[in-house]
Amino acid sequence: MSDDIHIRKEGRAGRITLTRPRALNALSYEMCGAIEAALDDWRNDDEVALVLIDAEGDKAFCAGGDIQQLYDTGCAGDFAYGRRFWADEYRLNARIARYPKPYVALMQGFVMGGGVGISCHGSHRVVCESTQVAMPECGIGLVPDVGGSLLLARAPGRAGEYLGTTGTRMGPDDAIYAGFADRYSPQLKWQELRVALIESGDPGVIDGFAGTPPEGGLRAQQAGIDAHFGGEGLHDILNSLRSDDGDFASAALKAIGRGSPLSMACTVEMVHRLRGPGAGIGRALGLEYRFTYRAMEIGDFLEGTRAAIIDRDRKPQWKHGLDALPGYAVSQMLMPLGPDALTLEEE
């Protein structure tokens, strides 16, 4: 087994621990495969009453996917590796969302991108005082994926459009409010909580360790979010924000100014399509895959990754300007893939 992840059975629990704290527990292709194999093994194992996933270190549960190889292969003109990576990762996300046994995630520090995918679709999601949840993918030319688009669509009011386009970080209270987490428990209680979960196999024990998180800011901003982020598309959101000289609008515009216009416009469209009772994890992942399948070849992913992670100059040259996004661009990224569409085994 990889040194990056520790998988074992303890008591009544199947345990998964990410062990790359120096890399903020970034999720690699191999780690995704190991988690998927463990979930398959435990699905019909009567000794395993619940799954418990956690991570070493205080800085991050998982700050995202390990995208170095995605970047390297994409720059070499190999788009197949990335497409296979995303397809397999998304299948794992669907497995977690549909898992028949309780899936408990202890989410400290940064929980971003791929980290959201292996925690926030679980049945029991626990945050602490250090938790910072975010979907910042637009900043590297992607869209909120790993099923995150569905979580955004289900967030209160227009919070999904706001969180998805700005990449705003949510503390524990905001994460619970937005539907990315369920319960707050101070991290000092987590070791005792782990023992209780392992011994009992009952996620109900979480209640005995839960408390009230420090108040976040998202609730207080909801009216402003709904007023400015309710437009039909990104252009409408921009016009609304530009008409307001208040602090919230100014901060939102600054954040939007850092993202890929193509990615943000597609994010708004995806959240709109997924809002409502008919949308589920399969539809969300399929829609996300339409974008990521094309992200290297005709999107901004390679340039966004270069600017943010490789060269770190923070000066991406996006394909389109914020006010010059052609009308066809969103449709081009989100059109059906035909025979290349994402398939999920459960379906």
CA distance 108 to 129: 8
pLDDT higher than 90, residue 3? no
Choosing from 54, 89, 137, 182, the catalytic residue is 137
5-340 CATH fold: 2-enoyl-CoA Hydratase; Chain A, domain 1 (3.90.226)
Look up residue 62 and give its two tokens. Answer: 């998982």
Active site residue 109: no
Active site residue 14: no
The closest alpha carbon to 247, from 221, 222, 267, belongs to 221
The closest alpha carbon to 111, from 196, 154, 163, 175, belongs to 175
For the chain, what percent of residues have pLDDT higher than 90?
Answer: 95
Verdict on whether the full-model pTM lies above 0.85: yes
Dihedrals phi, psi of 81, to nearest 5 degrees = -60, -50
What strands lie across the sheet with 132-134, from one edge to the other? 60-62, 110-112, 132-134
- Tell me the pLDDT band of 66, cut-offs 50, 70 and 90: confident
pLDDT higher than 60, residue 347? no
Q: What's the sign of the alpha-carbon dihedral 8, 9, 11, 12?
A: positive
Q: Which strand (E) or helix (H) includes residue 269?
A: helix 261-274
When pLDDT is averaged across residues 197-203 and rounded to a whole number, the result is 98
What is the average pLDDT score of the chain?
Answer: 96
Residue type, 148: G
pLDDT at 44: 97
For the chain, what percent of residues have pLDDT higher than 70?
Answer: 99
Active site residue 160: no
- Tell me the pLDDT band of 346, cut-offs 50, 70 and 90: low
The closest alpha carbon to 272, from 187, 214, 334, belongs to 334
Choosing from 114, 147, 259, 282, the catalytic residue is 114
Dihedrals phi, psi of 194, to nearest 5 degrees = -55, -45
pLDDT higher than 80, residue 292? yes
Active site residue 65: yes
Residue type, 246: G
pLDDT higher than 90, residue 221? yes
pLDDT tens figures, 180-193: 999 999 999 999 99
The closest alpha carbon to 156, from 239, 244, 216, belongs to 216
pLDDT at 274: 98
When pLDDT is averaged across residues 43-54 and rounded to a whole number, the result is 98
pLDDT at 134: 98
Choosing from 54, 66, 89, 145, the catalytic residue is 145
pLDDT at 26: 95
Contact 316, 307 (CB under 8 A): yes
